[in-house]
Amino acid sequence: MKFFIDNLPIIFPYDRIYPEQYAYMCDLKRTLDATGHCVLEMPSGTGKTVSLLSLIVSYQQFHPTHRKLIYCSRTVPEIEKALTELKRLMEYRISCADTVEEKEKESNFMGLGLTSRKNLCIHPEVSKEKKGKVVDARCRDLTNAAVCEKGRQDPGSVDLCDWHENLGKLDPGSLIPAGIWTLADVLQYGRDNGTCPYFTVRRMMPFVDIIIYSFHYLLDPKVAEQVSKEMSKDAIVVFDEAHNIDNVCIESLSIDLTRPMLDSAARSVGKLGEKIEEIKQTDAAKLQDEYAKLVAGLQDATDDSVDEDAFMTNPLLPDDLLKEAIPGNIRKAEHFVAFLKRFVEYLKTRMRVLHVVAETPLSFLQHLKDITYIERRPLRFCAERLQSMVRTLELQRLDEYASLQKVASFATLVATYEKGFLLILEPFETDNATIPNPIFHFTCLDPSLAIKPVFERFSSVVITSGTISPLDMYPKMLQFTPVVQETYPMTLTRNAFLPLVITRGSDQVAISSRFEVRNDPAVVRNFGSILIEYSKIVPDGIVAFFPSYLYMESIVAAWNDMGILNEVWKNKLIFVETPDANETSIALENYRRACDNGRGAVLLSVARGKVSEGIDFDHNYGRAVLMFGVPYQYTESRILKARLEYLRDAYRIRESEFLGFDAMRNAAQCVGRVLRGKTDWGLMVFADKRFARADKRAKLPRWINQYITETASNLSTDMALTLSKLFMRTISQNPNENQTGISLWTLEDIEKAQAKQKELAIEAEQSREDEEEYGDGGIDDDMLVDFDLDV
Amino acid sequence: MPAKDIDFMDVDSDSDISLPAEETSRSKGKGKGKAVAKPKKTKGKGKANEQAYTWEASYTRSWDTVQEDAGGNLQGAVEDWMARDRRRRLLAPAGAIRRTIIRHLILLLDLSSSMMDRDMRPTRFDLTLQYAREFITEWFDQNPLGQIGVVGMRAGIGERIGEMSGNPQDILRAIADRHKLEPIGEPSLQNAIEMARSTMSHLPTHSSREILIIFGSLTTCDPGNIHDTLDDCVKNRIRISVVALAAEMKICRELCDKTGGQFGVAMNEGHFKDLMFELVPPPAQNTLSRTPGAGAVNPAADLMMMGFPTRLPDTSPPSLCVCHSELKSEGFLCPRCLAKVCDVPTDCDICGLMIVSSPHLARSYHHLFPVKPYEAVTALVDVSDSTSACHACARILPTTQSTSTAAEGISPFGRYRCPDCHNDFCTECDVFVHDVVHCCPGCGK
């Protein structure tokens, strides 16, 4: 259907539209017009992606400036889903276009998705590699500039990737015909035409209208510099599923070093040294050449390189990038190797310490200088220098140098940033372990650092998710000012989900996962009885979330001893999520099977785990979510403590405020898994007395919160069961009512709503005018005249 | 009430946060937590029993569902019910539809332990048995040519409770003894459906094969893949309907959707009965089920052979019957092979001929040619004086509008008109004609 928002024609690929989708589009348009940022929360399963895409595409096609859209999603399946949605939309648009020119314009619209080499490689041998890093390295061996040059001059002397070579023969800009290409389409096209899908996408990026890729390509400075450099400033950036964007930001700037990694780095340094000796014997000119280049300055050294095959780029943010030459003491190759050796050895000695150390980058540098005489300035160029050297030496199989690369990035980061970072050395894995397994954390404490360049560079950044409440937290944490900040309710013709807060067991004992009481047998048993009772009355799948793996393990062990698991077994099978991804995916597969064939199953999983983040439990796969306890983070973690302290000092976010916010967004994320659309239904059970508090509930997204009634916010197990039973009977009735007009709008409904809006606006204006009329408070001339006459 | 509850809950520190400043409050919280836990233990022990007490269950406030109007009358509520019935009838397709009148139904009863649940009174199990009896009686009344068998699912297997039979007494006897059917263990949908399927596998194509499952459980313990069984059922053109007593299970919904049956979840006792009785009228014949290779090239000329037996009087000399090998004087003689059977309708045990009596055939007929729904008269403009009385019972029809608000499909004058003969009928006669007589007195057909 086609309709107008203000004067922008929107083409929406379905006959009906949800009211919240319409509202979402209106707000999005407002943001784009104002060229500002926005935070939007819209319930999952209400067609967020399609409304977003259809508005932005309409906007792009309508305005001659053609702002590019950068759409970031979290996982590969989600990227693929968005691309499919986009493809559908464009097909619809083409079929809707009236004139030939318009049709032409629509079919010239181009959209691509980018993912790693591992997913896009079609080289018969390379693509068989299991690890992404190895695929990357082997691909680079076959495609980097030096090898290509050699191969072309002297065919057969080195292995080259045919698919990549074929690509070189086409003119840039027309590697692939216009249109929307999903990842699968690109792969197929590559296979059919003998071209490399990965490089096709990479090289086409300046020419496309919409690019869809993962968060990291924009947030991680190591990757962003390579991939997203050419994006124009007026591009529209969308972060979908952005509820923990702050964690992604922090991760992208944090580095953990372990002892095996340092050992491997030391070996790599040795290998580098040998290689240099070798080169010196055979081709001393090469090293001399590099040296000369480095003297000339960093900028020139990087400019002529093809950045596609860069082994690593500077982990620094663009504005911190240095514009000066590499210092003299690491210009010579052998000097640099010695420098690295010293630095690695220093880190190794630091790791021998058996007590926890937390220090700022400044004190670390001071100590480093005292012991090894390594200055701050050369350290900053470590990453840059390593890259240049790797290029000069034409090393193969770069994945073996991964640890060294990490160490170099670490050196550069630690020497560059003073604020917002902390170094923590933890010699033991857990508090009561006796065998040291030291980890050196270099953690970023400030999520706004990584995202700052994005906000500064792009005029419109849209942050959206199903669960992003409370909305004002994100602008505070990420340091930006949104133009629009909105959350939408969910319009439903029937209450498709029932949130219940259980605060006490049937025996009236308060239940809580608070640390002091969580292992109390009474609490454990009450949690168990909730599981048993719900396994009896809920059909098909139940997903239960625990705050942590540790707690899940202890509680499941206790349940086993109490015979609770045997009780549950009578009604449903039990599956457990483990930290191991493979095990979990097998468990998930079997869980799905059990839900499909009617046996029914319970999945015990962990908030913040893989299951809670990326996996949907739609329809029969999740008829109920049980949230055992409030999923607070592990507060004893030193990294978290440091982060909390930083947030308090820098942004005045109180510790408890942040922890509460973080716990509730994870809880919302977990329970949100169960409802993936308007035909879906499910129960949401919050089992902890702390959920009953108003301040906790207020942090839940509005679309969940609006359905928590006063009676359902403080229940005992048996009361909750009665309500659940009733709900389940009611919701199982065949849905035959017509949703049109209430939760589904046709074109007329939209026009009606718009007319109403206009009326309201006019009314508001009128009332303002009225006020103005009476504003002067005097008596009209006419009235005065009348008054006179009367007398 | 909620306010009171909050008072009882101890207010404690909000979270797991243990920052140095809060160290003291944390230890305090610990003591508190323990103190809370203690009385609970002693209390909890007594009722670890899984049986819920009656007072824990929800109230049934049946009187609340009836709404009185302003004058305190129940007239409005009753009319609402009737309007609902009428609307349902209007929705039903009016024209002649191919319906299968020779029906074979397997009643599949859930006899697993979940049937002991008391959320339907007295228990799901007792209620199911009671409704099953009523259902069987009603079903045979409407479908005299049909046959019913009963299978139970108990302790993981399918159990044959009553053989397929055309005699309601046999079936009722089979489920009469409550103690033989005591629910136990877990149900297995697959086993039970397989058993029902094998019972019906020999049936000819012109008869319908239906399974009605009364399912109280929310799980099924199957030995194999139930989807294979489902595919077999689709292939054998078995129609599965499910009445669930607790909630919607995906697999049940799938069984019904794929085989063309009905699925319903009972809200309460009355609704449970409604859902079951919706399955009494014969289902429309599935055009999909006629695969081209099945032999019936022209569905219009699909004839079948039936025999009308000779009834032996009570006074005839006793002889052995072929069905039970008992010496009896009364019985029916098969017109083809002259074997003696005890009851009709049935298939002759000797020659396989279908033996029916003509009244049976006639009774089944009304499903094929239903009485058209009467139209509600909403205005008195075109009513002549002669039709001031009901055409059926001769009661004088009111000419003033009744006070209650008119719902859709309800005449404010209590007057309903046959679309064919244009005679007017009163509300009661309208119901009686459509539900019992199945023949319009005005048209006479």
Query: Are residues B259 and B196 part of one domain?
Result: yes
Q: Where in the sequence is the domain holding A327, given as residue range(s)? A: 257-427
Over range B160-165, report the average pLDDT: 89
Mutate to test the interface with B, among A504, A515, A653, A655 (most CBs of B within 10 A): A515
Q: What is the pLDDT of residue B64?
A: 59
Nearest CB neighbour to B248, from listed A539, A635, A711: A539
Verify that A615 and A710 share a domain, yes or no: yes
Compute the average pLDDT of residues A440-467: 89
Average model confidence (pLDDT) across chain B = 76
For A755-760, the CB contacts below 8 A with 24+ separation are: none
Interval B391-433: pLDDT, tens: 888 888 877 776 555 556 677 777 888 888 888 888 888 888 8
Q: Which residues pair with B332 in a beta bridge?
A: B311, B341
- For residue B187, list chain A residues with Cβ-Cβ distance below 8 A: none
Question: Is residue A525 predicted with pLDDT exceeding 90?
Answer: yes
Q: In this structure, is residue A64 part of a structural domain?
A: yes
Residue B376 and residue B325 share a domain: no
Residues A234 and A352 in one domain: no
- Identify the pLDDT of residue B357: 84
On the question of pLDDT at A552 being above 90, the answer is yes
Judged by average pLDDT, the poorest of A118-132, A711-725, B38-52 is B38-52
Question: What is the average pLDDT across A114-126?
Answer: 87
Structure-block tokens of residue B438: 């199945």
- Which band of pLDDT confidence, cut at 50, 70 and 90, is reported for residue A105? confident
Number of Cα atoms under 13 Å in the Cβ half of residue A514: 25
The pLDDT score that the predictor gives to residue A63 is 86
Domain extent for B407: 370-445
Q: What is the pLDDT of residues A394-419, one digit of tens each?
A: 777 777 888 998 999 999 889 888 88
Beta bridge partners of A256: A441
Nearest CB to B2; choose among A510, A595, A711: A711
The two three-digit tokens of residue A723, written as one number:
């309500």
Residues from chain B that touch A516, judged by Cβ atoms under 8 A, are 26, 29-30, 33
Of A373, A508, A464, nearest to A82 (Cα)? Answer: A464
Which carries the bigger pLDDT value, residue B78 or residue B147?
B147
Same domain, B270 and B351: no
d(CA B33, CA B35): 5
Residue B44 lies in a domain: no
Residue A636 has pLDDT above 90, yes or no: no
Q: Which of A379-383, B20-24, B378-382 has the lowest mean pLDDT?
A: B20-24
Q: Nearest CB to B248: which of A663, A690, A732? A: A732
Do A293 and A389 share a domain, yes or no? yes
Q: What is the pLDDT of residue B26?
A: 40
Let me know if residue B378 belongs to a domain: yes
Strand partners, B425: B416
Shared-domain flag, residues B328 and B347 = yes
**Do the chains contact at B6 and A714, CB–CB below 8 Å?**
yes
Last residue of a domain, one of B351, B367, B383: B367
| Cβ distance of A596 and B250 shorter than 8 Å | yes
A545 is written with which tokens? 């979330």
Distance (Å) from the alpha carbon of B9 to chain A's nearest alpha carbon: 7
Report d(CA B154, CA B158) in Å as an integer: 6
> Is residue A199 a part of any domain in this protein?
no
Let me know whether A23 and A89 are in one domain: yes
Residue A744 has pLDDT above 90, yes or no: no
Query: Are residues A620 and B40, on separate chains, in Cβ contact within 8 Å?
Result: no
pLDDT of residue A55: 92
One domain, residues A709 and A607: yes
Helices (H) and strands (E) in chain A, counts: 34, 20
Q: What average pLDDT does this structure show over B344-368?
A: 82
Which of A516, A533, A602, A657 has the highest number of chain B CBs within 10 A, making it the mutation to test binding with B? A516
Q: What is the mean pLDDT of residues B107-114?
A: 93
Quickly tell me which residue has 């193969």 as its tokens. Answer: A396
The verdict on B406 touching A (C-beta cutoff 8 Å) is: no
Cβ atoms of B240 and B196 closer than 8 Å? no
User: Is a pLDDT exceeding 70 seen at residue B300?
Assistant: no
| CA–CA distance, A72 with A493 (Å, rounded to integer) | 32
The verdict on residue A335 lying in a domain is yes
pLDDT digits (tens, 9 = 90+) for A575-592: 999 998 889 999 999 999
Q: Which two tokens stand for residue B1?
A: 């009430």
pLDDT tens for A249-290 read 999 889 999 999 999 999 999 998 998 888 888 877 878 888
The answer as to whether A521 is a domain residue is: yes
Is there a domain that residue B394 lies in?
A: yes
Domain identity same for A768 and A644: no
Contact with chain A for residue B258, Cβ under 8 A = no
The chain B residue lying nearest A733, using CA atoms, is B265
pLDDT higher than threshold 80 for residue A323: no
Same domain, A329 and A400: yes
> What's the average model confidence in pLDDT over A598-620?
88
How large is the C-alpha radius of gyration of chain A?
30
Interface of B with A in 309-328 (CB under 8 A): none
Q: How far is CA B2 from CA A509, A692, A713, in A?
A: 16, 11, 9
For residues A468 and A558, membership in a common domain is answered with no
Question: Letter for the amino acid at A253?
Answer: L
pLDDT tens for B18-51 read: 344 433 334 443 444 343 333 333 333 333 344 4
Check CB contact under 8 Å for A733 and B222.
no
Residues of A in contact with B17 (CB under 8 A): 632, 635, 655-656, 659
- Do B344 and B413 share a structural domain? no
Residue A134 in this model has a pLDDT that exceeds 90: no
Question: The CATH number of the domain where A58 resides is what?
Answer: 3.40.50.300
Instruction: Note whether A10 and A88 are same-domain residues.
Output: yes
Residues B356/B344, Cβ–Cβ less than 8 Å: yes
For residues A69 and A109, what is the distance between their CA atoms, to the nearest angstrom?
Answer: 12
Does B226 lie at the interface with A, CB-CB under 8 angstroms? Answer: yes
Chain B residues near residue A522 by CB distance under 8 angstroms: 37, 40-41, 44
Does B41 sit within 8 Å of A521, measured CB to CB? Answer: yes
Q: Number of residue pairs across A and B with CB atoms under 8 Å?
A: 158
Statement: residue A785 has pLDDT above 50? no
Contact B218 A520 (CB under 8 A): no
- For residue A691, the chain B residue with the least C-alpha distance is B14
Main-chain dihedrals φ then ψ at residue A712, nearest 5 degrees: -85, 5
Residues A69, A290: Cα–Cα separation, whole Å: 40
Q: Which residue has the higher pLDDT, A168 or A632?
A: A632
What local confidence, expressed as pLDDT, does residue A164 receive? 85
pLDDT of residue B32: 40
What pLDDT, on a 0 to 100 scale, did the predictor assign at position A511? 92
Look at chain B and report how many structural domains it folds into. Answer: 3
Residue A685 placed within a domain: yes
Which one of B17, B186, B249 has the shortest CB-CB distance to A655? B17
Query: Closest partner residue to A507 among B9, B43, B267, by Cβ?
Result: B43
- Determine the distance in angstroms separating the CA of B335 from the nearest CA of chain A, rounded to an integer: 48
Q: Considering the domain boundaries, does residue B29 fall inside one?
A: no
Inspect the interface and report whether the beta carbons of B218 and A538 lie closer than 8 Å: yes
Least confident of A88-97, B7-16, B167-176, B327-336: B7-16
**B225 and B336 fall within a common domain:** no
CA distances from B29 to A510, A654, A765, B8 (A): 14, 21, 57, 16
The pLDDT value recorded for residue A758 is 82
B268 and B139 share one domain = yes
- Chain A residue numbers with beta carbons less than 8 Å from the beta carbon of B226 are 597-598
CATH number at residue B400: 3.30.40.10
- Nearest-by-Cβ selection for A540 from B40, B186, B249: B249
Interface contact B223, partner A, CB < 8 A: no
Residue A479 lies in a domain: yes
Closest approach of A592 to chain B, Cα-based (Å): 12
Residues of B in contact with A504 (CB under 8 A): 9
| Structure confidence at residue B177 (pLDDT) | 86
Task: List pLDDT tens digits, range A62-88.
Answer: 888 778 899 999 888 889 989 999 999
Secondary structure (H, E, C), A580-623: CHHHHHHHHHHHHHHHHCCCCEEEEEECCCHHHHHCCCCHHHCC
**pLDDT value at position B314?**
86
Instruction: Give yes or no: residues A280 and A244 share one domain.
Output: no
B375 located within any domain = yes
Task: With beta carbons under 8 A apart, name residues in chain A contacting B36.
Answer: 509-510, 517
Per DSSP, what are the bridge partners of residue A462? A38, A238
Per the listing, tokens 């140095």 go with: B20
Closest residue by Cα to residue A422 from A102, A639, A103, A686: A639
Token pair recorded at residue A539? 């059909």
Structural domain count, chain A:
4
Residues B361 and B213 in one domain: no
Q: Region B143-160: what's the mean pLDDT?
A: 91
Q: β-strand A439-444 against A421-426: which pairing, if any?
A: antiparallel
Residue finishing a domain among B367, B401, B418:
B367
Q: B303 touching A, CB under 8 A?
A: no
Q: Is B248 on the interface with A (CB under 8 A)?
A: yes
User: A598 and B226: CB-CB below 8 Å?
Assistant: yes
* Percentage, residues of chain A above pLDDT 90: 33
pLDDT mean over A217-233? 79
Q: What is the mean pLDDT of chain A?
A: 85
B22 inside 8 A of chain A by CB: no
Tokens linked to A95: 């079929």
Tell me the chain A residues in contact with residue B225 when contact means C-beta distances shorter than 8 Å: 597
pLDDT over 50 at B320, yes or no: yes
Q: Which of A303-312, A395-404, B253-262 has the lowest mean pLDDT?
A: A303-312
Residue A630's closest chain B neighbor by CA? B15
What are A680-703's pLDDT values in tens digits? Answer: 889 999 999 999 998 888 889 988
Same domain, yes or no, for B226 and B340?
A: no
Domain match, A239 and A277 both: no
Low-confidence winner among A333-337, A493-497, B260-264, B400-404 (lowest mean pLDDT): B400-404
Interface contact B9-A689, CB threshold 8 A: yes
| Candidates A514, A551, A619, partner chain B, best to mutate (most B CBs within 10 A) | A514
Q: Same domain for B317 and B400?
A: no
Pick from A515, A522, A632: which is nearest to B40 by CB?
A: A522
A532 has a pLDDT exceeding 90: yes
Which stretches of A138-242 are assigned E, i.e. beta strand?
210-214, 236-239
**Residue A145 maps to a domain:** no
Phi, psi of A216 (to 5 degrees): -60, -30
Could you tell me if residue B3 is inside a domain?
no
Q: Which residue has the higher pLDDT, B48 or A361?
A: A361
Same domain, A610 and A529: yes
pLDDT of residue B414: 77
Residue A714 to residue B5, Cβ atoms within 8 A: yes
Give domain status of residue B14, yes or no. Answer: no
**Nearest CB to B41 within list A504, A522, A620:** A522
In this structure, what token pair is assigned to residue A36? Answer: 């500002």
> Is the confidence at residue B127, as pLDDT, over 90?
yes
Contact (CB<8Å) B44/A689: no
Domain membership of residue A293 (yes or no) is yes
- Biggest alpha carbon–alpha carbon distance for chain A: 120
- What is the chain B residue with the closest CA to A660? B15
- Given a cut of 70, whether residue B149 has pLDDT beyond it is yes
Query: B157 and B238 share a domain?
Result: yes
Establish if B30 touches chain A: CB-CB under 8 angstroms.
Answer: yes
How far away is chain A from the Cα of B12, in angstroms, using its nearest Cα?
A: 9
Chain B, window 260-289: residues with a beta carbon less than 8 angstroms from a chain A beta carbon: 263-267
Which of A711, A732, A734 best probes binding to B when mutated, by most B CB atoms within 10 angstroms? A732
- B2: cis peptide before it, omega within 30°? no
A689 vs A755, more confident: A689
* Structural domain includes residue B430: yes
Q: Residues B246, B335: one domain?
A: no
Confidence of residue A777 (pLDDT cuts 50, 70, 90): very low
